[in-house]
Structure 1
């Protein structure tokens, strides 16, 4: 793909961005800092959909990923480090279509071509991650849920901007049950690559063996790619399916049928709550969210149970910390003057074993422990009676006196 920088005062600047796609050049708008583009056309083109906008003579549009375009004219350089793209080794007979075919076959999980391509999609500190949510899940995050389970790099899914397109990324198995033409998402920056894993290999074979009646959402293929008839999307999971501490400035988003990104809430780490960012024009997008008032400007998470937290060291003391990327990690403090950069930081969580199944301890109530399976498989699901709450996430209650190997573990980050 070739990129032509925008020159100040030229015709390109006045007419806007132009993107070459499918043998033609279209006016376009950049999506997610160049990870995707929204193309426009004055007449019907195969693959484009009718989506007229006010005061526009370009009523047809299509979202395409950056890997699908051949040239970009009039772009501006991004100030951020680009994400590592998904790469296919040059081969005369095995191209993207062959990789897609193999990536959808559980039996090809160990194919060298599949593993090489999947390994090219990596997470770095500061990578923007997204998780597609239902209205019920959005309500949960506003009330204090933490990032966990299956998720994606924003770079890989930036072209999936409508409710119909994002169905393949949902984890609750709900399809279109929300009753409104909108999809929701959580977006945050990765604090450390070690917090994430690719769902391939022996540790995840149990997930691929689960029957449809025992799981929610699409099947786990074990290749590291999401099931899709047309897309090649690398997927990730939080390591051990653990909750991750919510970083500062994480956002809750909505994508209505127009394909517009609407920022609903931004996370305020010091106040432990979500600040509403959306104006009156888009508050109807919250109508389907259970138990949430669209007019409430600030929603505190309060004392919602947290199974994990960041712990930082500063001047010999230990403090709760927060990831404020791309800047770094700092002491979590209401007073701005006390928000010191930490000398070291780790993610702290609690682990245990019950009936032979390795588990995360989410919370404790009246002598009972809420557990989440770290490596779900059919045997562990049966022995623990765990229920599937979303794709790959299985939880159950256990008497505190029956668990073994109950311990607190720190996962240090390299600063």
Structure 2
């Protein structure tokens, strides 16, 4: 039986539904109770149910945003942290319903925003359970932002059974082509902007009717039809043609090409990988998000109470812990490549 918020007529192979072996002994109420219980984090039945919510190449992913986060993505932020498969939250449309999925602890607003994109590869996503992020659920309440992390792989909720994901190790993911920034008004879903990777900017799609939705975004002019990103990001896609390496663009599920302004130069690449910087600081694995000759901004890969205490990292979003460190103190500073199978 599928556990979704709406009837499924056709199953999209890129978005397999969450499935559970319901029976007289295992009903909906029992599955819901198990998903909310720390004692069932290692339950093999719950793990089998959670494993059916797979991310494929091309699966639509969604991160629910506040107005401030939306403005940040218009400036060049990449997808990172907690996110969801679009098919698992299709039944949630009202800002009040989506409030629990927000990650920055901002006050509830009259409109909810979201970033929606297609997954480039399943390797970019992890289930935030006790196997992949064993210390996340144990971080004390005073050091958290947003809803608590149960460690079962599901959101904390008394009504919904929604599987949650994080970007692998809380890494930044390069935005694929045609990613969207959208708004939920309660009655409608409005596509506000779409991402143009070659120009590294956002094209406005919403018309005058939806101008008021843009006025909530700090520092964003509703009149501008195109917004170039000012943040270059901490990760990029690289691909090869023969022995030559190029910056690459992903348009999943099938198109992976050289990043070029002219269409004639957008050749398909034969290999593809995600590249970012990693380092150890005080023995804690971190992503290097920014750096100059003296200082580096770091994000903890596997946050737990010890890592947060050792680094003094601060919670910027749910599960996302960052700190500044002297570059001279970084150990094993290197480029990290995640290869994809094309």
**Aligned length, in residue pairs:** 342
TM-score, structure 1 normalization? 0.80
| Partner Cα distance (2:199, 2:123) in 1 | 27
| Partner Cα distance (1:96, 1:82) in 2 | 25
Q: Once the 2 structures are TM-superposed, how far is the Cα of residue 286 of structure 1 from its aligned partner?
A: 1.2
1:189-247 deviation line (CA, Å, top 9, x unaligned): 00000000011124422111112210100000000000011000000000010000010
Q: Aligned residue for 2:120?
A: 191
Is the partner of 2:50 in helix, strand or coil? helix
The answer as to 2:48 corresponding to 1:116 is yes
Name segments (4+ residues, structure 1) moved above 3 Å.
none
Q: Aligned residue for 1:27?
A: none
1:108-150 deviation line (CA, Å, top 9, x unaligned): 1001221111111100000000000000000000000000000
The answer as to 2:234 corresponding to 1:307 is yes
TM-score, structure 2 normalization? 0.96
5 Å-filtered alignment, 1:12-31, equals none
Q: Once the 2 structures are TM-superposed, how far is the Cα of residue 316 of structure 1 from its aligned partner?
A: 2.1
Q: Does the CA contact (< 8 Å) of 2:120 and 2:253 recur in 1? A: no
The higher relative CO (CA closer than 8 Å, separation ≥ 6) is in 2
Q: Does the CA contact (< 8 Å) of 2:14 and 2:59 recur in 1? A: no
Q: Does the CA contact (< 8 Å) of 1:99 and 1:113 recur in 2? A: no
Q: Once the 2 structures are TM-superposed, how far is the Cα of residue 92 of structure 1 from its aligned partner?
A: 2.4
The answer as to 2:341 corresponding to 1:341 is no
The answer as to 2:162 corresponding to 1:221 is no
5 Å-filtered alignment, 1:122-271, equals 122-176=54-108, 178=109, 181-258=110-187, 260-271=188-199
Q: Does the CA contact (< 8 Å) of 2:172 and 2:235 recur in 1? A: yes
The structure number with the bigger radius of gyration is 1
5 Å-filtered alignment, 1:263-412, equals 263-302=191-230, 304-412=231-339
| Partner Cα distance (1:83, 1:366) in 2 | 44
Q: Once the 2 structures are TM-superposed, how far is the Cα of residue 389 of structure 1 from its aligned partner?
A: 0.6
Of 17, 24, 32, the match for 1:85: 17
Q: Once the 2 structures are TM-superposed, how far is the Cα of residue 66 of structure 1 from its aligned partner?
A: 2.6
Q: Once the 2 structures are TM-superposed, how far is the Cα of residue 315 of structure 1 from its aligned partner?
A: 2.9
Q: Once the 2 structures are TM-superposed, how far is the Cα of residue 175 of structure 1 from its aligned partner?
A: 4.2
Q: Does the CA contact (< 8 Å) of 1:305 and 1:363 recur in 2? A: no
| Partner Cα distance (1:344, 1:86) in 2 | 32
Q: Does the CA contact (< 8 Å) of 1:369 and 1:399 recur in 2? A: yes
